[in-house]
Amino acid sequence: MVDRAYDGSKHPGQLEEKMPQYWYNVNTRQVEQDAQSGWKELIGPYNTREEAEQAPAKVHERNEDWEAKDDD
């Protein structure tokens, strides 16, 4: 299903398709399309399902980087 919404940049009556967004749910460890859970449970948004699936690895990588910088 595609959401259609007037974005204000075109003439009224011309609808633009809204692209889905993907979110990673940290509790279920599942990817959700268009944020179906509460915001405290989600990481994102991502443009693709594949990007959202990589969220835990990205978080881990960023945490490692931050910890390394803290040690300096």
Give the type of residue at 61: E
pLDDT for 34-59, tens place per residue? 989 999 999 999 999 999 999 999 99
User: Global pTM?
Assistant: 0.68
56 bridge partner residues: none
- Over the range 34-63, which residues count as b (16 or more CB within 10 Å of their CB) and which as e? eeeeeeeebebebeeeeebeebeeeeeeee
Name the phi and psi angles at 66, rounded to 5: -65, -40
HSE of 64, CA atoms in CB hemisphere, 13 A: 6
pLDDT for 1-32, tens place per residue? 444 444 455 555 555 678 899 999 999 999 99
